[in-house]
Amino acid sequence: GPPDKQIAAQIEAMISRSSVTIQDMGKTHVLKNTIPLPRRAVSLTDIASFTHHTGREVAVFRHAGTRYMSLGGTKSVKVPYESRVLLHTHPNGLLRFSEADALFFGKKVTQSINPQYSTLIGGGNNAWRRISVVDEVKRKFPDFKGDMFL
pLDDT of 106 above 70? yes
Q: What mean pLDDT value characterizes the chain? A: 83
Residue-by-residue DSSP string for 84-99: EEEEEEETT---S--H
pLDDT-derived band at 134, boundaries 50, 70, 90: confident
| pTM for the predicted model, two decimal places | 0.83
